[in-house]
């Protein structure tokens, strides 16, 4: 597992995190910028969830406050974790409807981009979508599948998560909307995924997705889209592990990006 130069903050006896004045100011700047960026671009389900959460703009919100809303809507809960966790821990949490959240906030130096998922990414990018039943149901299903998958199978499953939960789009009647947390928490990715003519956008096909390689440190060259979020419900009726085995037998597509230079 790769190391992270950030360290998660502990919760105190009251279940709260002590955020500094500098971190509160940084949160304000991050949220204000991204709210302006996603206006007219994020899907309605995201904005509905954001309204339910009623996240503070002035200071970093507490996990306990977010959990109250998630409990009422989809019975999910946020689980504070170290900066990085292994796949076993990750899948076990999702399978029990607990979404892992690293309790650190990026520094000013990493204001525009941070490779590790920080508190802003997890809370602003994902929590609004976790209030949506279709999204929450799929995330739970994904966790349950991952718990029993082999190491090799998990790599193929990870691509399904990447191109939906992190970088998913909706395309319906010529209209485009964003729902992936990796897009919604990044101004550069928001503009690129929504409006650029450079990336390839494809209708989501499970085996195609599982065969598509990706890099975490670049703007995505390929995005997959649904017509509606309710399509995520349909994945409960698909033998996703059979799809994994089929994708493994076919092998990966050639990457649509240059190799990373060490």
- Provide the pLDDT confidence category of residue 259 given band limits of 50, 70 and 90: confident
Residue 262 has pLDDT above 80, yes or no: no
79 annotated binding-site participant: no
Check pLDDT > 80 for residue 231. Answer: yes
Residue ranges per structural domain of the chain: 21-250
Question: What per-residue confidence (pLDDT) applies to 186?
Answer: 97
Q: Are strands 175-178 and 98-102 parallel, antiparallel or unpaired?
A: unpaired
Q: CATH says 21-250 is which class?
A: mainly alpha
- Is this prediction's pTM over 0.85? yes
Average pLDDT over residues 25-49: 98
Q: What is the pLDDT of residues 196-228, one digit of tens each?
A: 999 999 999 999 999 999 999 999 999 999 999
φ, ψ for residue 98 (rounded to 5)? -120, 125
Binding residue per annotation — 59? no
Query: Is 32 annotated for ligand binding?
Result: no
Residue 26 has which token pair?
A: 């940084």
Annotate the chain with DSSP letters as a single string. Answer: ----S--PPPB-TTS-B---HHHHHHHHHHHHHHHHHHTTTB-HHHHHHHHHHT--SSSPPPHHHHHHHHHHHT--EEEEE-S---HHHHHHHHHTTEEEEE-----GGGSS--SS--HHIIIIIIITGGGSHHHHHHHHHHHHHHHHS-HHHHHHHHHHHIIIIITEEEEETTEEEE--HHHHT-HHHHHHHHH-SSSEEEE--HHHHHT----SSS--SEEEEES-TTHHHHGGGS-HHHHHHHHHHH-PPPPSSPPPP-
pLDDT of 1 strictly over 50: no
Does the pLDDT of residue 3 top 70, yes or no?
A: no
Q: Inform me whether the pLDDT recorded for 2 exceeds 80.
A: no
Asked if 123 contacts 66 with a C-beta cutoff of 8 angstroms, the reply is: yes
**pLDDT of 40-50, one tens digit each?**
999 999 999 99
Q: What percent of the chain has pLDDT over 90?
A: 92
pLDDT tens per residue across span 50-92:
999 999 999 999 999 999 999 999 999 999 998 889 999 999 9
Contact 143, 94 (CB under 8 A): yes
pLDDT digits (tens, 9 = 90+) for 129-185: 999 999 999 999 999 999 999 999 999 999 999 999 999 999 999 999 999 999 999
Q: Tell me the pLDDT band of 261, cut-offs 50, 70 and 90.
A: low
pLDDT tens profile 234-258: 999 999 999 999 999 999 999 999 8
Residues 104/9, Cβ–Cβ less than 8 Å: yes
Report helix angle 240-250 to 133-148, nearest 10.
60
Residue-level pLDDT at 114 = 87
170, 140, 150: which is closest to 236 by C-alpha?
140
Count the neighbouring beta carbons within 10 Å of the beta carbon of residue 226: 21
pLDDT band with cut points at 50, 70 and 90 for residue 5: confident
């Amino acid at each position: 597992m790769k190391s992270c130069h950030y360290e998660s903050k502990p919760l105190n006896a009251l279940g709260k995190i002590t955020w500094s004045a500098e971190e509160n100011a940084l949160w304000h700047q991050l949220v204000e910028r991204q709210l302006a960026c996603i206006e007219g671009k994020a899907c309605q389900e995201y904005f509905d969830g954001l309204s339910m959460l009623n996240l503070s703009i002035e200071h970093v919100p507490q996990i306990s406050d977010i959990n109250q809303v998630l409990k009422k809507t989809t019975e999910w809960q946020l689980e504070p974790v170290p900066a990085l966790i292994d796949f076993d821990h990750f899948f076990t949490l999702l399978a029990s409807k607990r979404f892992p959240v690293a309790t650190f906030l990026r520094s000013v130096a990493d204001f525009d981009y941070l490779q590790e998922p920080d508190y802003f990414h997890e809370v602003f990018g994902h929590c609004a979508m976790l209030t949506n039943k279709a999204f929450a149901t799929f995330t739970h299903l994904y966790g349950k599948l991952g718990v029993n998958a082999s190491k090799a199978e998990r790599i193929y499953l990870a691509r399904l998560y990447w191109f939906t939960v992190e970088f998913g789009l909706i395309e319906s009647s010529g209209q485009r909307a964003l729902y992936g947390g990796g897009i919604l928490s990044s101004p550069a990715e928001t503009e690129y995924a929504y409006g650029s003519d450079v990336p390839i956008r494809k209708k989501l096909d499970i085996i195609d997705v599982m065969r598509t390689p990706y890099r975490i440190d670049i703007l995505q060259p390929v995005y997959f889209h649904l017509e509606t979020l309710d399509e995520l419900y349909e994945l409960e009726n698909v033998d996703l592990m059979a799809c994994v085995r089929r994708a493994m037998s076919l092998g990966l597509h050639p990457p649509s990006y240059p190799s990373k230079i060490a």
